[in-house]
Amino acid sequence: MSERPETPASPYGSFVRAPSAEPPTTPSRSWTLRRTVKTAAGLSALVLGLTSLTLPSPYLLEAPGPIFNTTGETEDEPVITVEGADTYDTEGTLSLTTVYVSGEPTNTVRVPDVVAGWLSPSTDIMPHELVYPSGTTADEVQQRNTQAMASSQDLALAAALEELGMDYRQQLDILDFAPEAEEAGAAEVLQVGDQVVAAGGEEITGLEGMRAAVNDAAGQPVELTVIRDGEEIDVEVPTYQEADGEYYVGIMLQGDFDFPVDVDIQLENVGGPSAGLMFSLGIVDAMTEESMTGGEQWSGTGTVDPDGTVGPIGGIAQKAVGSQDQGAQHFLVPRDNCAELEGRVPDGLQTYGVEDVAEARQIVEAVRDGDDDFLAGLEPCGTE
């Protein structure tokens, strides 16, 4: 924070009288004019200062949001309902976590809000442009969050069935190309309708595997294996970097699933993809006879791929605070987010970094069973 000059004692600024044994009984014209100008300047500055308090700021605020137990109820309805398989009663909680995000285009953050956020240890401030490019509308944000939540539910069910050893079918098809992909040349080597089966030489089952391969390419072309007209072919696809530091190929993928069970998830007014891990654990717990938690209070966050891979998310520090404030004892964190929690883990909240759903389940059950040897061997997350 830069230093500021000391504020003058007079609200209109300091001034010096002409040397005299006694102050003049009648102010001179020039002195009166100077006083009038300074008074007007001071009042203008005051008006401008007050006006600035009502102006929108170019920042977003992230603050702790509510948590929701995936094995519980919302508005007297189960959050997760499974049909087509046996289900069992559960104990404890496996709560997903949320973040309140304030700022354009969904609402307005003003200067006093930014100051209050800067003073709050649980609020993060970031430039608006890093998250939402210019021209993004509130409707677009709502639509993306709704689509991401719907997609995360399918991915969570796939990951849960993978963990339970139950078969299902999935394929990733190219739906469209972003303008950047067309400029970079991806649309010249790929076609709408191509089925993507591998990236960077590794078989992929979902978006996380695709993201990992593209980021590993780090701006160089990434090799994709696609099925086109029944033939498997390899193509080199250009990648490019966005303002968020991530690399992209700019293709829009749709994952089509054929599941042996039907799962309905009831959770309104929550969007985004980060509930995937906790949805997966909630489904596994509901379909497993023995309670996973043994009555412990768990929360967590993270995206999931159908193979169970857990991906990083935003607002991890805020989710930790929200978890602790709302009664969680343990917090599951994507391993790639652990560094962001250094020095920001609330007292009394046990945090565990995880790579996939299987590891997360192992940790929850180890706490339930009091397996201290297993827990002692885990890599720390958020603590030195």
For the chain, 384 residues long, give each residue's pLDDT as a single digit of tens.
333 333 333 332 322 233 334 444 444 444 454 455 445 555 455 444 544 556 677 788 899 999 999 999 988 899 999 999 999 999 999 999 999 888 777 777 787 787 887 888 889 888 877 777 777 787 877 777 777 777 788 889 999 999 999 988 778 899 999 888 888 888 889 999 999 999 999 888 777 788 889 999 988 999 999 999 999 999 999 998 888 788 999 888 887 888 999 999 988 778 778 899 999 999 999 999 999 999 999 999 999 988 899 999 999 999 999 999 999 999 999 999 999 999 999 999 999 999 999 999 999 999 999 999 999 999 999 875
What local confidence, expressed as pLDDT, does residue 276 receive? 94
Residue 182, pLDDT score: 80
Residue linked to tokens 């999931």:
304
Distance of CA 301 to the CA centre of its chain: 9
pLDDT at 53: 56
Residue with tokens 């080597």: 189
State the pLDDT at residue 1: 39
The predicted pLDDT at position 287 comes to: 97
Contact 93, 285 (CB under 8 A): no
The CA-atom distances, in angstroms, between 245 and each of 219, 241, 281 are 11, 6, 30
Write down how long the chain is.
384
Taking the whole predicted model, whether its pTM rises above 0.85 is answered as no
Q: Which amino acid is at 276?
A: G
Kindly give, in sequence order, each residue whose CB lies less than 8 Å from that of residue 257, ignoring residues fewer than 6 positions away: 154, 157, 158, 168, 169, 170
Predicted pLDDT of residue 44: 52
Place of tokens 């938690």: 293
99, 154, 334, 164 alpha-carbon torsion, rounded to 10°: 140
Residue located via tokens 């010096």: 16
Q: What would the two tokens of residue 159 be?
A: 């990951």
DSSP at 302: -
8 Å CB contact between 99 and 315: yes
